[in-house]
Structure 1
Amino acid sequence: MVTGTQREGLGRPCLFSTTLPPSCDCELEGMLPPYLSACLDHVQNLWLEFEPSRKSSRRAATDLLAALAGRTPGLRGLCLECRGEKPLFDAGRDVLDAVHALCGAAGALRHLDLRRLPFSLDDALVLQVAHGCPELRSLFLDNRTLVGSVGPGSVLELLEACPCLRALGLHLASLSRTALEALAAPERAPFELLALRCACPEDARAPPLPDEAWAALSRRHPGLEVELELEPVLPAESVTRVLQPAVPVAALRLSLSGDTVGPVRFAARHYAATLRALEVRAAASAELDAALEELAARCAGLREVHCFCVVRPSVLHAFRARCPRLRSYTLKLTREPHPWRPTLVA
């Protein structure tokens, strides 16, 4: 499906839209719908949805990407999203090969979002993007794969080849101190967003990124926002390495198998000036309630808080009373059927 609907994640707006008709799905394999073939030369920004488990949908998506590679050197933005279930042991080679070819032909590409592809991205794709798309402004590789296959060397080469890059999403293991130093270089264009996902074994084993490197990066780019997403694979010692005081964390998503209270208190004490969105998935406890109340008292700039466990009434009162910029929250006082919907603040 090709859609122009604006979508927003926690703290991160959608970068792509299109005015194309609403579907690229085709039941006749190997054929694109006529209305898509007729307008490919005019496509600049494309959000492409498909179902990898449906052969016709998958074929239509790869055919469309192949056609774009041959006819659309003016493509500026591409976002891919897989819907439904991914077939077991599916490496997505056909899809990734199509993206690889497109990035080799779309020299004007400025925005590439692969967060919603459930396949392991690799160094070859990143290097193709680096050398085929020198005008790149944003690249999101922080997808939900369980294997981190993009090495720090490829990311460093990407930063050197794309001097105008201003937003980057990665798994933690793909980032290095050298990359932080490259981003902090005096000649670097303003850098605005760094999204880090910690969700695979490589992320848990990643070496620490020194606090002084984060401090230098923040001084060089005072408007920088960092998004951190910490998944259950991270042991407590890895969480401690990731949560450095100088990181300008704007959005923090905690879904840990171990202690959550400590990270919430750490955020309250070190990210009060920058934190705008918090998401917590943990078991309910009096200690967590107290930590959330402390965070509400310290983080006056908070705009979103979503806690997926029952909290006591004083937690809700604390956020409503102490966070004047709050626009959306999920703070349930009693257990309700899922999915829990957020409350919008008028």
Structure 2
Amino acid sequence: MAEPGEQLPEEVLALIFRYLPLRDRAAAARVCTAWATAATCSAVWHDTNISCDCELKDMLSPCLSACLNHVHNLRLEFEPSRAQSRQAATELLTALAGCVSNPGLRSLRLECHGEKPLFDAGLDVLQAMHAICRASRTLHHLDLRRLPFTLDDALVLQTAHCCPELRSLFLDNRTLVGSVGPESVLELLKACPRLCTLGLHLASLSHTALKALAAPDREPFVLLALRCACPEDARAPTLPDEAWIKLRSRHPGLAVELELEPALPSESVMRILQPSVPVAALRLSLSGDTVGSVRFAACHYAATLRILEVRAAASAQLDDALEFLAARCVGLREAHCFCVVRPSVLHAFHAHCPRLRSYTLKLTREPHPWRPTLVCGMGQSPPIPADAWP
């Protein structure tokens, strides 16, 4: 520990300041010259989390505005239904777009909280995103999954033409309208040859895109996240099995995440759950038959399934299906069922899934939100409550 009157080295101060929220960094920068130097150095700002709800006051103070060109990885949280929070996020993104080329933003993740905004409330944020994409040719990762606004072709094409080094892009957000066309996705794949992770609404994916991903000169593709929620997804044509088989052959490590929402009719669900898709994560929140989907996954995704999430009404048939799945999907890492299950279901996952690391399998009703149970050690069977034995 430093003696009274002795100044800590700049690198030690920077290590401390990097864990401070934005307003505390601003306060530290006003203490003295040494602290200002440490609080505004590159090491403090390389990885930055900013909440526009908690840190509005000092969001763009002069000393902090100058630090934006040191930000490489940014997670920005705001509440879009609150005009002040949304305005702060827009101003920050606009300011960031003015300096991302020196040395360059690498990763941007937007997270929205609170109530859903009005239909046209996100135009200002989306315009700021266009500015970010125009300015940053060094952007590697862009995550818009938690952005509730409708994304369109213009944003995707802007990203494709201005961010050739892109590695991951998530567009599978919670919108009620799917407005990103398959042609824009195909253009994105052509313009960004290093893209290896992609999140989309199902309607944005096409047979041609799968063929492009399976091209011999394509770099390894590792994750395809597909959300099926809006009417366009329900009407999307079935992608040929042979296209999926070729894609799996070209990229043996490919994992597919499927998220199915209540808007999907039953006939669309069984059309989307194709045996040849290497589904690693399956999230079911259906208004219709969930039991059939769980059994289908047990029969066809046993070798690939690692995460299962089910939101459905409790029933003996669902319990039977979950036990059947547990016995077949021995590589499962997570199992989350948001309804009460019988004790034999919990026992089945403990008995057959040695790699299980967390689960939500409640035997009695509890206040929400339900928290998952964490398994103490990988490869170790967690203790089973006495009342869970059959």
Residues 193 and 225 in structure 1, CA contact (< 8 A), matched pair in contact too:
yes
Q: TM-score, normalised by structure 1?
A: 0.92
Q: RMSD over aligned Cα, in angstroms?
A: 1.8
Instruction: Answer yes or no: is 1:78 the counterpart of 2:108.
Output: yes
The 10-residue stretch of structure 1 (17-26 or 290-299) with the greater mean CA deviation from structure 2: 17-26
Alpha-carbon spacing, 1:150–1:256, altered in 2? closer, same or farther (3 Å): same
Candidates 36, 49, 57, aligned match of 2:77 = 49
CA distance in 1, matches of 2:238, 2:64: 47
CA distance in 1, matches of 2:255, 2:50: 33
RCO comparison, higher one (Cα < 8 Å, 6+): 1
CA distance in 1, matches of 2:120, 2:249: 43
Aligned to 1:240: 270
Alpha-carbon spacing, 1:333–1:21, altered in 2? closer, same or farther (3 Å): closer
Alignment of 1:249-288 (within 5 A): 249-288=279-318
Instruction: Answer yes or no: is 1:60 the counterpart of 2:88.
Output: yes
Q: Deviations over 1:101-134 (max 9, x none)?
A: 1101100100000001100000000000000000
Q: Deviations over 1:49-95 (max 9, x none)?
A: 11222222222211111111111111111011112123333341100
Residues 78 and 86 in structure 2, CA contact (< 8 A), matched pair in contact too:
yes
Alpha-carbon spacing, 1:98–1:4, altered in 2? closer, same or farther (3 Å): farther
Displacement of 1:18: 5.3
CA distance in 2, matches of 1:305, 1:18: 35
Q: Deviations over 1:256-294 (max 9, x none)?
A: 111011110110011011000000011111111111111
CA distance in 1, matches of 2:140, 2:197: 11
CA distance in 2, matches of 1:321, 1:92: 48
Aligned to 2:64: 36
Q: TM-score, normalised by structure 2?
A: 0.82
Residues 50 and 77 in structure 2, CA contact (< 8 A), matched pair in contact too:
no
Residues 80 and 121 in structure 2, CA contact (< 8 A), matched pair in contact too:
no
Candidates 315, 326, 332, aligned match of 1:296 = 326
Alignment of 1:162-201 (within 5 A): 162-201=192-231
Q: Deviations over 1:13-45 (max 9, x none)?
A: xxxx9544754556569x713453021111111
Alpha-carbon spacing, 1:308–1:35, altered in 2? closer, same or farther (3 Å): farther
Displacement of 1:334: 1.1
SS state at 1:246 partner: coil
Percent identity of paired positions between Structure 1 and Structure 2:
78
- Give ranges in structure 1 of 5+ residues lacking alignment: 6-16
Alpha-carbon spacing, 1:68–1:158, altered in 2? closer, same or farther (3 Å): same
Runs (4+) of structure 1 exceeding 4 A deviation are 21-29
Alpha-carbon spacing, 1:86–1:282, altered in 2? closer, same or farther (3 Å): closer
Task: Flag the structure with larger Rg.
Answer: 2
Candidates 143, 158, 161, aligned match of 1:131 = 161
Residues 24 and 33 in structure 1, CA contact (< 8 A), matched pair in contact too:
no
Aligned to 1:10: none
CA distance in 2, matches of 1:21, 1:112: 15
- Give ranges in structure 2 of 5+ residues lacking alignment: 1-17, 21-44, 377-390
Residues 106 and 133 in structure 1, CA contact (< 8 A), matched pair in contact too:
yes
